[in-house]
Amino acid sequence: MSIRFIQVSLVSVATAALLVGCKAGGDNPGREYAPNMYHSVAYEPLTQIKDKEAGMWVSSLDNGRGEYYNSNDYNPYGMNMRLPVPNTVRRNANGWLPYRGVNDTTGLRLANKLVNPYEATPAILAQGKMLYEINCKHCHGAKGAGDGLVADKYPGVANLTGDAIKGVSEGHIFHVITYGKGLMGSHGSQVNDEERWKIAKYVKQLQTN
Ligand code: HEC
């Protein structure tokens, strides 16, 4: 046997062993190389390995647990993230509670009492304009005259600058964006509360021009 042959054989055997080690499928995630890079020591919210022995073979900790164990002994079911307390009310990043106006005529009337938390500063109006152009312009038109491209095909889009709508409050606009009205569908899932108020400011500006 030549040296060359032995070399080639050794390389082939090593390569085959590597490839076999990589085989994954079914419940077998395959071998991991450098497992410490996959399994953080910290609690992870999205994985839950309850087997205290898991990863004992690579453990670098001296707490008697495997490297992969990442359940939380103190929480129910070993969960790391906990569910919010029942009846918890979500607040957004600004600390605002969700809009609780009801989607009916009384709710629309009561919306008039709402006060826009934003001032008509150039920055807010610029953001309102951008949001209006993304979400409203195709129906209501660039100047709010109800002449967007969609309105060409589907009549009935309101002219926001017409006498009937010119006088509506910003709260009214906020409510209409949230729930829609008549032919107009809800845009509540497209724009959040902050964005609705910015759009309302911009619509008011369109109406006074
Ligand atoms: C798909 C087309 C469409 C889009 C997009 C749209 N609207 Fe409308 N909007 C309508 C139609 C149609 C009406 C008339 C509804 C009716 O009276 O039946 C209307 C009515 C309104 C009214 C008048 C409500 C009233 O009191 O009569 C306001 C205010 C309004 N829209 C604001 C907006 C704003 C702000 C946006 C963007 C977030 C927007 N709309 C997006 C179609 C649209």
Neighbour count for residue 87 (Cβ, 10 Å) = 5
Closest CA to 105 of 175, 54, 43: 175
Is 173 a pocket residue for ligand 1 (Cβ < 6 Å)? Answer: yes
What's the pLDDT tens digit per position in 169-188? 999 999 999 999 999 999 99
- In angstroms, the CA 141 to CA 147 distance is 5
What's the pLDDT tens digit per position in 75-111? 888 888 888 899 999 899 999 999 999 999 999 999 9
Closest CA to 113 of 200, 38, 175, 47: 175
Q: How far is the CA of 130 from the centre of ligand 1 (A)?
A: 17
Please determine, for residue 37, whether its predicted confidence score (pLDDT) is greater than 80. no
- In angstroms, the CA 40 to CA 49 distance is 12
Is 157 a pocket residue for ligand 1 (Cβ < 6 Å)? Answer: yes
- In angstroms, the CA 63 to CA 101 distance is 53
Is 136 a pocket residue for ligand 1 (Cβ < 6 Å)? Answer: yes
- In angstroms, the CA 58 to CA 113 distance is 63
pLDDT band at 157 (very low <50, low <70, confident <90, very high): very high
- In angstroms, the CA 122 to CA 170 distance is 17
Is 203 a pocket residue for ligand 1 (Cβ < 6 Å)? Answer: yes
- In angstroms, the CA 182 to CA 78 distance is 49
Which amino acid, residue 94?
A: N
Looking at every residue in the chain, the average pLDDT score rounds to 89
Contact 35, 49 (CB under 8 A): no
Widest CA span of the chain, in angstroms?
99
